[in-house]
Chains A and B, each alone.
Chain A
Amino acid sequence: MSDLATLTLAGARDALRRKKISSRELTTSFIKEVEGARGLNAFVTETPELALDMATRADARLSRGEAGILEGVPLGIKDLFCTKGVKTTAGSKILGNFVPTYESTVTRQMFDAGAVMLGKLNMDEFAMGSSNETSAWGPVISPWQRKGSNTPLVPGGSSGGSAAAVSARLCLGATGTDTGGSIRQPAAVAGITGIKPTYGRCSRWGIVAFASSLDQAGPMAHTVRDCAIMLQAMSGHDPKDSTSAPIAVPDFEAAIGKGVKGMRVGIPKEYRLDGMPAEIEALWAQGIAWMKDAGAEIVDVSLPHTKYALPAYYIVAPAEASSNLARYDGVRYGLRVNGDDVIDLYEKSRAAGFGREVQRRILIGTYVLSAGYYDAYYLRAQKIRTLIARDFEQAFEKCDMLLTPTSPSPAFGIGEKTDDPISMYLNDVFTVTVNLAGLPGISVPAGVNNEGLPLGLQLIGRAFDEATLFRAGQVIEDAAAFKARPDSWWK
């Protein structure tokens, strides 16, 4: 039996193919881990019977030599992906009893590739949050704790259940989605790897929509290689999503190991924020040194409109959300509260079904799109988005990728930032630019701070050049030799 404490997705895949272990054995072990970690609140729905059934079928295919990319590998699925016959809530009361009758394209592709689903993972309501505290099903507790303290910390968000489940080793990988940083920021603060691919790389069909021009699915796992394997299965053109790119998917895993010798790594000076914690500054300097040691050329670049990205995002994302969330009306599906007339029914159902942050964003979005304000807010934000994308285009004339910190701080305590939305929004200051420009970004664990909490480095690439991020991400992973693990206090 493989040791779950060190097993990677790639290692499990290889062991399954060499028949050193069966998917049923592996899945049974992980089901026990999931059951033993309920205190973390990472899973909102456990599907052990389905998992064992999928594992049995994977074993049959393995024995016939028909293994898919993820054959027999137990994974967790963020509760934003519609899963046929399995409750999908998006972390919201309004979808509290919603059971999709269809499968999202990304999960369909993963299951076709042999993946085993252990269950659905907790998340911020409709993916709106950076700490997993807006979930209708309660916060996720990070497996990580500060040295000598048992203060419960957040796992980051919005893919907080995914980050916690992977870092607590309850599954070998998990799907996430990233609208402003929701894969990369939780990956960074939970000490795992996560990539937001280029907009259009993964189909959005069947993923509960938040902000359609920003949303992308991606993998979260222990290593860069594990993410490459998962993304391979998740990617590809889907006619059901009109923004899905009809572009061939390269062999991501094959890019790993090629190193970065002779590549140019850009360092954007605007990411050096006033008052940035010294530990983040030091980590970034360390990352630059690692890249230099590996033979990369370091280039100073400028992304002059960086400071406008977050405020522009908080116009674009709520505007799109207010439109996307208009579908929850208490009539066709979802929570219903009866009213005196149909308008009253809509208003009461939505007030009862949506949590506080979601309501706040719907109101902001409705306001910035309302007559008389559209030009001042939404149109202006769209123009700023053009400027931000142009900044990246100009930077990529001088370099092949950018290196930045992922998150401005390590994990914080539950409840520490919930009173001030803007201080919460600032968690995404280094990640949100990438969504606005539609580019790929990867976060790789790079070290721990003096309290023992993980910190991540982010690499940003050209559109559809995830291969370079896997290649360079592996260089950081090798140099960092990140071995820190949370103590298993929840067991």
Chain B
Amino acid sequence: MSVDEKTVRKVAKLARLAVPEERLAPMAGELNKILAWVEQLGELDVNNVEPMTSVAKMRLMRRADVVNDGNIADDLMRNAPNAIDNYFTVPKVVE
């Protein structure tokens, strides 16, 4: 499998990453090198192998479903690049 400029444009859109037009072709080349290299995984027969979904052999730990944190609005806003009165701001989304 190999990717072309059109695929890179689509994947970049999915990844919310602006890739300038002139970078699409070189990026396709870079990705294809890596994809060609991982192609060797196709040599293995993995039909009867379970996928590893958890590296640790344990049940995922759960916490009690109780409120144990909160009232930290100032902390949450402290690193916001643009905020108004404890609201995060974005460009207008509703006309």
Report whether B50 and A383 are in contact in the complex, using a CB–CB cutoff of 8 Å: yes
A342 contacts across to B, CB distance below 8 A: 90-91, 93
**Which of B17, B38, B62 is A242 in contact with, Cβ under 8 Å?**
B62
CB distance from A103 to the nearest CB of B (A): 12
Per-residue A-contact encoding for B46-66, CB less than 8 Å = 1, 0 else = 100111111111101111000
CB distance from B94 to the nearest CB of A (A): 11
Report whether A384 and B15 are in contact in the complex, using a CB–CB cutoff of 8 Å: no
Give Cα A368 to B31, complex, Å: 11
Report whether A242 and B18 are in contact in the complex, using a CB–CB cutoff of 8 Å: no
A292 within 8 Å of B (CB atoms) = no
Report whether A347 and B18 are in contact in the complex, using a CB–CB cutoff of 8 Å: yes
Report whether B16 and A347 are in contact in the complex, using a CB–CB cutoff of 8 Å: yes
A373 within 8 Å of B (CB atoms) = yes
Give the nearest-CB partner of B13 in chain A: A347
A360 contacts across to B, CB distance below 8 A: 27, 30-31, 34
CB under 8 Å from chain A, chain B span 32-54: 33-35, 37-38, 40-42, 44, 46, 49-54
A348 within 8 Å of B (CB atoms) = yes
Interface residue tally for chain B (C-beta within 8 Å): 53
**Interface Cβ pair total, 8 Å cutoff:** 168
**Which of A314, A330, A334, A340 is B38 in contact with, Cβ under 8 Å?**
A314
Give the nearest-CB partner of A336 in chain B: B81
B3 within 8 Å of A (CB atoms) = yes
Q: Looking at chain A's contact residues, is the secondary structure mostly helix, strand, loop, or mixed?
A: helix
**Which of A245, A312, A341, A387 is B58 in contact with, Cβ under 8 Å?**
A245
Give Cα A315 to B38, complex, Å: 8
Report whether B55 and A345 are in contact in the complex, using a CB–CB cutoff of 8 Å: no
CB distance from A484 to the nearest CB of B (A): 35
Per-residue B-contact encoding for A365-392, CB less than 8 Å = 1, 0 else = 0110010010011011111111101000
Report whether A332 and B88 are in contact in the complex, using a CB–CB cutoff of 8 Å: yes
**Which of B3, B14, B60, B63 is A239 in contact with, Cβ under 8 Å?**
B63
A379 contacts across to B, CB distance below 8 A: 51
Q: A314-B34, A332-B79, A333-B80 are in contact. Are A387 and B16 (CB under 8 A)?
A: no
Report whether A99 and B18 are in contact in the complex, using a CB–CB cutoff of 8 Å: no
A246 contacts across to B, CB distance below 8 A: 58, 61
Can you list 9 A-B contacts (CB < 8 A)? A97-B79, A314-B38, A354-B17, A360-B31, A362-B17, A363-B19, A366-B14, A384-B46, A386-B52
B interface residues (Cβ-Cβ under 8 A, vs A)? 1, 3, 7-8, 11-12, 14-19, 27, 30-31, 33-35, 37-38, 40-42, 44, 46, 49-58, 60-63, 72, 75-76, 78-82, 88-93
